[in-house]
Homo-oligomer: A and B are copies of this chain.
């Protein structure tokens, strides 16, 4: 089903948050190259309508096709939640993998009591994709959602530890978790959220299982790649940004977990 087993894995996100997914893929498949596109000129997607997000996702995927990728990874939860069917139909038989279904699978596997909370952007919550994906696996699971848009800004600002993220996490989460039978599992349904994991952990307590879809999606991608025979090409990592490569490299490095050299980042225009 691969269009080109020697091609890179194409990954796109609204910005730099999806670099947590790229990093997990690089760890799971160290021999595979990837090309990562961050649509930083139009981020965030999480506050925008499904129509606008779908249009942006189609443009991003089109820009990635020139690299003849072996698969498309939609690392953005919001785009995964609203645009995946359109992309899958447009680029079949190329595999198009989102982060919502792997996250839902991991959450259902982690939950012992069938009570799952999902935190995500406004767009992801409003679309209800996690709720549908979880219920498709197990209709008995109780799911509660909460949009946490400020987490995106905190992660981008690098305010990942200390009083501000901790207070914000409590403000978003305490009414969900301070009840008699709280959720036993919390899905971090936005690629920005894993960097806030310490503040989130303080708000929800030690007993709640935290599900980060980056790791789960990387395992899923690894199994697809291994099943189809992976390429032997060198593991080149390319980065494309629709705005300000300098900022992409600077802010992106903390999500990627390794330094990104600004010389590695190519500026692209999706609206052309």
Residues of chain A having any CB pair with chain B under 8 Å = 40-43, 47-49, 52, 149-150, 152-154, 156-157, 159, 163-164, 167-168, 171, 242-244, 247, 271
Contact = CB atoms under 8 A, between A and B. Distances in A.
A171 to B, nearest CB: 6
Contacts of A171: 159, 164
A150 B157 CA distance: 7
Contact of A150 (B42, B43, B159): B159
Contact of A52 (B48, B150, B243): B243
Please name the 10 residue pairs, one residue from A and one from B, whose CB atoms are nearest each other, closest first. A153-B153, A49-B244, A52-B243, A41-B52, A48-B243, A42-B42, A164-B167, A271-B271, A150-B153, A150-B157
13 contacts: A40-B48, A41-B49, A48-B243, A49-B243, A52-B244, A149-B153, A149-B156, A150-B150, A150-B157, A150-B159, A164-B164, A164-B167, A164-B171
Nearest to A271: B271
Nearest to A152: B153
Given A47-B244, A49-B243, 5 more contacts: A41-B49, A43-B47, A153-B154, A164-B164, A164-B167
Nearest to A159: B150
A42 B243 CA distance: 12
A65 to B, nearest CB: 20
Nearest to A165: B164
A218 to B, nearest CB: 28
A153 B164 CA distance: 13
Contacts of A154: 150, 153
